Structure 1
Amino acid sequence: MRRFAFAALALLMLPPALAQTPHPDLAEADITTLQQQLRRGSTSSVALTQGYLDRIAAIDDAGPRLDAVIELNPDALADAKKLDEERKTGKLRGPLHGIPVLLKDNIDALPMVNSAGSLALASHRPKTDAFLVQRLRDAGAVILGKTNLSEWANFRSTRSSSGWSSRGGQTRNPYALDRSPCGSSAGTGSAIAAGLAVVGIGTETDGSIICPSAVAGLVGLKPTVGLVSRSGIIPISASQDTAGPMTRSVRDAAILLSAISARDADDQADALPGRPTTSPDYIKALRHGALKGARVGVLRDAEGKQPAVDTAYTRALAALKAQGATLVNVDIATAGQWDADEYSVLLYEFKDGLNRYLAASDAPVSSLAGLIDWNLANAYEAMPWFGQEIFEAAQAKGPLTEREYLEAKKKIRRLAGADGIDAVLKKHKLDALVAPAMSPAWLIDPINGDHFTFAGYGTAAVAGTPSLTVPMGDAQGLPLGIVFMGPAWSEARLLGFGYAFEQATKARKPPPFAPTVTPTNAR
């Protein structure tokens, strides 16, 4: 177990130069380049796996001390060796063969603990892999380990600090160590930005992939709910939960999505209409000219709230236009009207889904009520900074047959979907919408909790439709993302748009592991 004292933030020292960290060539390595090296024999899966383990030891455990990785897979090197042996015999499973991947610590993956960052589940070892983990293994990925997260995926307290968990401590942002990594997929975001693995998997209910990806200079894809299985993932919401890729490039996101997207008979997702009968080729969708002729709706609600974001967004829109897109200013008339009802739906679904997961997996605590009691009995360790008001509010809810739940669920999907994103797309004959993904990363504050100023991804989260964030610039060195949103099952199109934008702008910069933000005009 690793802990982080918030008081130590003021004592942070500059980290070693990046060139002095182990295997600097792996820091920004992508899947395609590594596969070329694997084919030539200039590296091996064992060497890659050991290289990333060395980087985790140097950067995450020592050095800048990101506390992004909460647990390592003890079988990682043995698994890599088997995949190298398969390669020697001519058996190749695909583009992920031999590639190290990190998973958020709310996903079942043998033989590791699955805890949602909670000390209450620190001994919880699931009996089987999650469906998506089995998909990754079948594709040849090496499961390197698990990443820290905002405890219970940021669904325990209204004053929580993103990236903090009682089991893993406080994850820090590699761009400025005193800044929030956002959440709840904080560890995955910081780890992939810092080059602690090639790619990672996060999960989202409302922003938990998009936000940490945006503030860590990553590409993050929240798929249509139901495209990626949720079986074996500690849940919040059956209506909105999904796993998705967090990567340093759009191409890597497409490769990873290709591996994990599949129908799962055990996942009872409320599937949106129009799912393709066959999986699209996400990699073929990556074209430099993908934006030519596209009609893109421009959401401007976030403008005027942060000058650096406005500047970056203006440049991003100019890049879209230069790539041949037609830009149309639009707004979502129903925006924000679903907030109270969404929260109610999440409370109902969290209680129901968590109770089901805990009971089915023989977890050491078998119910939400039991977790509340455990936290109270272990408050010194479990709740040193904030409480469990959300837990208590969820426990007070009844079953999913209650009228309040059924009406709220129907209402929010309509407001965000049919009357929201779908209505705007149809009215203006648009292919996608864009908005600034997120405000810049804020200072970590365990006393008051998170305090970001805006987010542009909420409509797609509530509607259950896909969203993709891509780096678009920075605010005094803090990364900023632009989010592309589209109708259900439009991941291939969004990836194509994101790829064309990424290749035209090349906005991503590697993290400096700075102790804090230093104004660029400082003298």
Structure 2
Amino acid sequence: MNRYLAVARSTLTGRWVGRRSASSPRLRPLDLSPFEDALRDFEDDRVERVATLVRDASIVQLSRLMDSVRLTSQDLTLLCLSRIRAQDETLRSLLELNPHALVEAASADERRRAGASPSPLCGIPLTLKDNIETAPPLHTTAGSALLADHLAEHDAPLVARLRDAGAVILGKANLSELAGAMSSRAGISAVGGQAMNPFGAQFSPGGSSSGSAVGVAAGLCIASIGTETSGSLLAPAAFSGVVAMKPSRGVVPTDGIVPLVHTQDSAGPVARSVADAAAVLEIIARHPVRTDLADDALEGVRVGVLRADVLSQQSPFEDTSENAAVLGRVVEGLTRAGADAADVLLGLRADSLDEYEKGFVGVVLGGLCHDTLPYLAAATGARGDGVRVTTAADLLAWNLADPRRRMPSGQGVLDLAVLRGADADAYAEAALGFRDRAAALLAETFDGTRTELLVSLSNRHSSVYATAGFPAVTVPAGMRSNGMPVGATFIGRPGEDGRLLSMAHAFERVTRLRREPIGAGRR
């Protein structure tokens, strides 16, 4: 039991690496056949011309290029598809391609020609984490073999917003199966196999929005939408050297997302820059979010650096001196941007954090039993094939009937859910209790230290800020000595999503620490 708890805790707080293999199978190969003729015509000089034109361009800049007719959405989409064809059999960032992607791109081009472009996202190819519902013909699988053929009736509201904005839905991104509630290995699913970090197979891709981060980092899409319960956006983005934002609770609608813990599930953008993340957030947000980005947004801002917490709560495979050096680099960048940075304590000692995270694992196991499994029960009950999964034990047994196909990474977290069980009332009480405790802890830290921004590394403290519903952004903070990217995480006050993005942008502009993997954006 203690071994299972340790595995689940590492998984669900985002600090597990695990072994990876690039040879893990897909249940459904990527189908490029709808695009083969267009890709054949797109070869040679045209590919290089478009690639050169769009290199390092932001979403707003791409939109302007399309307005000026120097670029079309069809060419941009074909560029992404050509890169997917060349790289994704290795990277495994995608589970499925949208067969209508080029039709959507042509429609976006026509809207621009007619002067009816609805937003900067018009014609921009995006991917969606595959726990976000999409209307047929795209499936919604959450990476599970049980849902391999599952078709949702409608687009999730955030997807409808993207379509209304003219975005091209390129496909569905790979993920840690069931958003990490299956096993200890980050970025692996029965449907898609193991997503690979584009900086090297020796590095974890992080989870659970693994495919979203890998695809953006490798240039296979312009941006992606991922989800987070605890660290699932920020960890993979940090590990692949890109930007991700977990918005304040309620900013982005979560209807139509396969749930894990409904009190803290969130969706947000993964992108190459803060500006791109802001452009996407403006579209998917339930209500308008003011995202005016200012280069001087950190001028005179008091920033609290959670240095002691980071250095005392790292995982065994990390080096204390290197984390200290990364934090030093982050503080230097904040200072150059005009911030007043000082060390602060969150208030959770190492021993109390240990107890906190053990309790948090119980909340996630409760969510698996009482949020995720009802979704699976409804999905399987509607199929009429005799398969009905209503409990964790049912899912465990179904997977064990064909383990190589249905559970390539094992099911240690699911095992623990069966062993521990989860009372519905106790789960509801614990989920709300942890949310209130985390929110109070962060509010006391902000108020008690008179800080306007808290800074951590990667997804450290995710079990606090995500549980509390506070917004957080990760921005590239350079590389570790072994060549793996690392991210600086900025935590803001709830409801101040726009200001948080602006401060992250100011740091990004001063430091410019993002690096691209070798071969990114190349055929």
Structure 2 length-normalised TM: 0.83
Is structure 2 residue 436 aligned with structure 1 residue 424?
no
**Paired letter, 1:230:** T
Is structure 2 residue 342 aligned with structure 1 residue 342?
no
Partners in 2 of 1:77 and 1:405 — Cα distance? Answer: 45
Partners in 2 of 1:456 and 1:334 — Cα distance? Answer: 10
2:28 alignment counterpart: none
Partners in 2 of 1:306 and 1:351 — Cα distance? Answer: 37
Is structure 2 residue 100 aligned with structure 1 residue 75?
yes
1:474 alignment counterpart: 479
Structure 1, unaligned runs of 5 or more = 10-18, 263-277, 439-454, 515-523
Partners in 1 of 2:374 and 2:410 — Cα distance? Answer: 26
Is structure 2 residue 298 aligned with structure 1 residue 291?
yes
**Paired letter, 1:204:** E
Give the fraction of aligned pairs with identical amino acids, expressed as a percent: 38
Matches of residues 12-31 of structure 1 in structure 2 within 5 Å? 24-25=51-52, 26=54, 28-31=56-59
Deviation track 1:391-430 (CA, whole Å, cap 9, x = no partner) reads 5516864553x2x334423431233111x11100011121
**Regions of 4+ moved over 4 Å:** 19-23, 363-366
Is structure 2 residue 150 aligned with structure 1 residue 124?
yes
2:195 alignment counterpart: 171
Task: Answer whether contact 2:203 2:484 (CA < 8 A) is retained.
Answer: no
- Larger mean CA deviation between 353-362 and 111-120 belongs to 353-362
SS of 1:489's equivalent? Answer: coil
Matches of residues 311-322 of structure 1 in structure 2 within 5 Å? 311-322=325-336
Structure 2, unaligned runs of 5 or more = 1-18, 25-44, 313-318
Partners in 2 of 1:140 and 1:385 — Cα distance? Answer: 37
Deviation track 1:50-92 (CA, whole Å, cap 9, x = no partner) reads 111111001113xxx1111111001111111111111111111
Instruction: Compute the displacement of 1:103 (Å).
Output: 0.7
1:357 alignment counterpart: 375
Partners in 1 of 2:102 and 2:92 — Cα distance? Answer: 22
Q: Rate the CA distance shift 1:5–1:393 in 2: closer, same or farther, 3 A.
A: closer
Task: Answer whether contact 2:480 2:486 (CA < 8 A) is retained.
Answer: yes
1:6 alignment counterpart: 21
Pick the structure with more helix per residue: 2
Task: Answer whether contact 1:27 1:196 (CA < 8 A) is retained.
Answer: no
Instruction: Compute the displacement of 1:101 (Å).
Output: 0.3
Is structure 2 residue 514 aligned with structure 1 residue 500?
no
Q: Rate the CA distance shift 1:21–1:261 in 2: closer, same or farther, 3 A.
A: same
2:437 alignment counterpart: 415
Partners in 1 of 2:133 and 2:432 — Cα distance? Answer: 30
Instruction: Compute the displacement of 1:27 (Å).
Output: 5.6
2:245 alignment counterpart: 221
Is structure 2 residue 400 aligned with structure 1 residue 376?
yes
Instruction: Compute the displacement of 1:139 (Å).
Output: 1.0
Partners in 2 of 1:298 and 1:279 — Cα distance? Answer: 30
Instruction: Compute the displacement of 1:462 (Å).
Output: 1.6
Superposed CA RMSD: 2.4
1:231 alignment counterpart: 255
Is structure 2 residue 313 aligned with structure 1 residue 302?
no
SS of 1:303's equivalent? Answer: helix
Task: Answer whether contact 2:234 2:473 (CA < 8 A) is retained.
Answer: yes
Is structure 2 residue 79 aligned with structure 1 residue 51?
yes
Structure 1 length-normalised TM: 0.83
Instruction: Compute the displacement of 1:143 (Å).
Output: 0.2
Deviation track 1:198-232 (CA, whole Å, cap 9, x = no partner) reads 10111111000000000111111011121111111
- 1:39 is aligned, of 44, 63, 67, to 67
Q: Rate the CA distance shift 1:309–1:141 in 2: closer, same or farther, 3 A.
A: same
Matches of residues 53-452 of structure 1 in structure 2 within 5 Å? 53-61=81-89, 65-110=90-135, 111-157=137-183, 160-262=184-286, 279-282=288-291, 284=292, 286-300=293-307, 301-303=309-311, 305-334=319-348, 336=353, 337-361=355-379, 362=382, 365-369=388-392, 370-390=394-414, 393=417, 397-398=421-422, 400=424, 402=425, 404-418=426-440, 420-438=441-459
Partners in 2 of 1:513 and 1:391 — Cα distance? Answer: 39
Partners in 2 of 1:38 and 1:24 — Cα distance? Answer: 14
**Paired letter, 1:252:** D
1:271 alignment counterpart: none
**Paired letter, 2:344:** V
Task: Answer whether contact 1:436 1:482 (CA < 8 A) is retained.
Answer: yes
- Larger mean CA deviation between 368-377 and 287-296 belongs to 368-377
Instruction: Compute the displacement of 1:471 (Å).
Output: 0.6
**Paired letter, 2:296:** G
Instruction: Compute the displacement of 1:373 (Å).
Output: 2.6
Partners in 2 of 1:349 and 1:140 — Cα distance? Answer: 34
Partners in 1 of 2:515 and 2:265 — Cα distance? Answer: 30
Partners in 2 of 1:412 and 1:225 — Cα distance? Answer: 14
Partners in 2 of 1:198 and 1:45 — Cα distance? Answer: 12
Task: Answer whether contact 1:368 1:395 (CA < 8 A) is retained.
Answer: no
Partners in 2 of 1:485 and 1:104 — Cα distance? Answer: 23
Task: Answer whether contact 1:347 1:394 (CA < 8 A) is retained.
Answer: no
Partners in 1 of 2:505 and 2:418 — Cα distance? Answer: 40
Deviation track 1:273-319 (CA, whole Å, cap 9, x = no partner) reads xxxxx62311x1x1011001111111012237433332222021012
Partners in 1 of 2:414 and 2:434 — Cα distance? Answer: 20
Task: Answer whether contact 2:377 2:390 (CA < 8 A) is retained.
Answer: yes
SS of 1:405's equivalent? Answer: helix
Task: Answer whether contact 2:22 2:91 (CA < 8 A) is retained.
Answer: no
